[in-house]
Copies of this chain bind each other. A is one copy, B any other.
Amino acid sequence: MKALRWHGRKDVRLDELPEPTAAPGEVVIRVAACGICGSDLHEYLHGPLYIPKAPHPLTGVVPPVTLGHEFSGRVVEVGAQVETARRGDRVTVNPCLLCGECAWCRRGQFNYCAKLGSLGLSRDGALAPLVAVPAYGCHVLPPGVDDQQGASVEPLAVTVHAYRRARLRGDERVAIVGAGPIGLLMLQVLKAKGAGWVVVIEPREERRRLAGDLGADAVLDPEAQDPGRAVAQLTGDERVAVAFECVGSAPAFATALRVAGKGGRVVLVGLVPETVQTNLLGLVAHEKEIVGSSAYVDEFPEAIDLLVEGRVRIDPLVTARVSLDEALPRGLEALLRREEKHVKILVAPD
Contact = CB atoms under 8 A, between A and B. Distances in A.
Interface of A: 49, 103-104, 109, 111-112, 114, 165, 236-238, 253, 262-263, 268, 271-273, 275-281, 283-294
Nearest to A262: B112
Given A109-B262, A262-B109, A284 B293 contact: yes
Contacts of A285: 292, 294
Contact of A292 (B111, B253, B283): B283
Copy number of this protein in the oligomer?
A: 2
Contacts of A275: 277-280
A294 B290 contact: no
Q: Which 7 A-B residue pairs are closest in the complex by CB-CB distance? A: A112-B262, A284-B292, A272-B280, A290-B290, A287-B292, A283-B292, A289-B291
Contacts of A292: 280, 283-289
Contact of A283 (B111, B238, B286, B290): B290
A283 B104 CA distance: 17
Given A279-B275, A280-B272, A286 B253 contact: no
Contact of A263 (B112, B237, B276, B286): B112
Contacts of A104: 262
A263 B49 contact: no
A49 B109 CA distance: 41
Nearest to A282: B292
B294 A280 contact: no
Nearest to A280: B272
A288 to B, nearest CB: 5
A109 B236 CA distance: 16
Given A277-B276, A293-B284, A263 B103 contact: no
B277 A277 contact: yes
A284 B262 contact: no
A244 B215 CA distance: 40
A87 B125 CA distance: 77
Nearest to A50: B285
Contact of A276 (B114, B280, B289): B280
A169 to B, nearest CB: 13
A278 B281 contact: no
Contact of A278 (B236, B263, B276): B276
Contacts of A281: 49, 271-273
A290 B276 CA distance: 14
A128 B163 CA distance: 51
A231 to B, nearest CB: 16
A167 to B, nearest CB: 9
A271 B286 CA distance: 12
A293 B283 contact: no
A106 to B, nearest CB: 12
